[in-house]
Amino acid sequence: MAKVLIIYSSTDGQTRRICERLREVIKQSDHDVDLVAIEDRPALPLANYDRIVLGARIRYGKHAPEVLSFIRDNAKLLNAGPHAFFSVNVVARKPEKNRPETNPYVIKLLKQIPWRPRELEVFAGRIDYSRYGFVDRQMIRFIMWITKGPTALDTVAEFTNWGRVEAFGRRLARF
């Protein structure tokens, strides 16, 4: 049995939902799994975990600053173990951008950080205009218009491929 930490940044909850599913899948292999938002990380003894999985959302083309800080602050520990990273972004809804090697946000992040995750994945997110404030709703709608995504304000679009999430969880459960 391994001790696994899943740490995440999530704005609207989709990355958290993905992490919860990963936790369920990994627990099926009798691993002990802790799930925590990145804001709570200072209290965590990271060295006590056999595997760290970092899940990060994209908002307006960027990963959260806390994600970059976490990686930079813990690069030595992250590079020393079988740790993993995944990104959640709506551009990954497109087949040509739904893999780590083809997703522009993952490619950009890997150029900025001193960590090379042993496991790497990207998942498409979710659009739910009713959950956004006025400014976010207009910005996201504009981005969707540019990228030929859904723009109707009553749209709730689940782009996450849960089968891929579960397959990633099974990969993470094998040590």
Q: Looking at the structure, tell me whether residues 83 and 134 fall in a common domain.
A: no
What pLDDT, on the 0 to 100 scale, is given for residue 172?
A: 95
Residues 85 and 152 in one domain: no
135 pLDDT above the threshold of 80: yes
Q: How many domains does the chain have?
A: 2
Task: Give residue 7's domain range.
Answer: 3-125+160-173
Q: Are residues 64 and 140 in the same domain?
A: no
Same domain for 98 and 66?
yes
Q: Do 59 and 69 belong together in one domain?
A: yes
- pTM for the whole thing? 0.92
- Coil, strand or helix at 125: coil
For residues 99 and 24, state if they share a domain.
yes
Give tens-digit pLDDT for 62-113. Answer: 899 999 999 999 999 999 989 999 999 999 999 999 999 999 999 999 999 9
